[in-house]
């Protein structure tokens, strides 16, 4: 599955991913010690929702625009992060994970970004101008292993690939296993699309065999039944999530499900521990 982000910016997957990423980092920041935030597939950093690529799919109308139309205060932190890069009341620009992570930085925290695509890394550097982010242009999986463990006491690695390569899941599995050997207590967030349920189940079996003790899965299914051959939703694997984050999840996930459910469908956001 090819998931070039500029075509999908601000869709339902972005809303869930970024709302949970904000909640996760804020939960980690309940402790004063410094955090290093690492994004292995940073993308462009900022996306024009009225541009040609986003306009071709229009997916943002079922994502960020739905979140902005929903009055639930549990979505306020997410809406504020999007509003921070926009001048008007309705979003025209959409912040990628790098921009959102930059907004969350405290003086003691660090942000390290990576993007291999030459055009995207040029746009990323422009989008992050004025922030203290360090930007790399390297192979994402080599970069991931090189960055852990971070120099700060704690950190988060965000892995958000486009799934353009057939071996993407295999590389994630192998790199996660190697990263765990170097940094067993580190927090890792891995985004993935949900399209083929059988293939996804096989991947989860391989990840389960890594034996990671705290491995949370959050899966957002848009439709009440699988829609063959199309995008059915997306999920996050979260390694070593903090207790404060997991305790606050149920009401936030229900708010996201209600805001994003397509017409005629209730949708579902399922949470489980991979070892269960």
95-119, pLDDT tens digit by residue?
Answer: 999 999 999 999 999 999 999 999 9
In the chain, the percentage of residues whose pLDDT exceeds 70 is: 95
In 3D, which of 145, 208, 212 has the Cα closest to residue 184? Answer: 212
The structure tokens listed for 114 are: 């990576």
For residue 104, give both structure tokens. 């969350």
Does residue 263 surpass a pLDDT of 70? yes
Greater confidence, 58 or 54?
58
Could you please state the CATH topology (level 3) that the domain comprising 5-273 is classified under. Answer: Rossmann fold (3.40.50)
Q: Which two tokens stand for residue 66?
A: 């739905």
Note the helical H segments in the chain.
Answer: 12-28, 52-57, 64-69, 76-83, 97-104, 118-127, 140-147, 168-182, 197-208, 243-260
- pTM of the prediction? 0.95
Gyration radius (Cα) of the chain, Å: 17
β-pair partners for 102: none
Helix (H) or strand (E) holding 187: strand 187-194
User: What does the mean pLDDT of the chain come to?
Assistant: 93
Distance CA 187, CA 154 (A): 8
Q: Which residues are annotated as catalytic? A: 160
> Tokens 């990840």 sit at which residue?
207
Structural domain boundaries in the chain: 5-273
């Amino acid at each position: 599955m090819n998931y070039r982000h500029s075509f999908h910016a601000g869709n339902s997957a972005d809303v869930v991913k970024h709302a949970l990423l904000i909640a996760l980092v804020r939960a980690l920041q309940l402790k004063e010690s410094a955090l290093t935030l690492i994004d292995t597939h940073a993308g462009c950093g900022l996306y024009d929702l009225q541009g040609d690529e986003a306009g071709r799919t229009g997916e943002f109308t079922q994502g960020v625009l739905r979140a902005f139309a929903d009055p639930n205060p549990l979505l306020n932190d997410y809406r504020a992060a999007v509003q921070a890069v926009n001048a008007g009341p309705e979003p025209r620009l959409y912040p990628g994970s790098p921009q959102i992570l930059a907004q969350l930085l405290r003086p003691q925290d660090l942000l390290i970004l990576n993007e291999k695509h030459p055009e995207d890394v040029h746009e990323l550097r422009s989008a992050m101008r004025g922030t203290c982010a360090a930007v790399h242009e390297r192979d994402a999986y080599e970069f991931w292993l090189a960055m852990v463990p971070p120099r700060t006491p704690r950190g988060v690695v965000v892995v958000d690939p486009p799934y353009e390569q057939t071996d993407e899941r295999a590389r994630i599995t192998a790199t996660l296993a190697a990263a765990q050997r170097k940094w067993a207590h580190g927090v890792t967030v891995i985004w993935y699309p949900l399209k083929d349920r059988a293939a996804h189940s096989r991947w989860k079996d391989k990840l389960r065999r890594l034996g990671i003790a705290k491995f949370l899965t959050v899966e957002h299914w848009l439709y009440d039944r699988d829609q063959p051959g199309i995008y059915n939703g997306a999920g996050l694997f979260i390694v070593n999530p903090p207790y404060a984050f997991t305790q606050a999840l149920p009401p936030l996930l229900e708010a996201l499900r209600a805001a994003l459910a397509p017409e005629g469908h209730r949708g579902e956001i399922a949470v489980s521990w991979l070892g269960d």
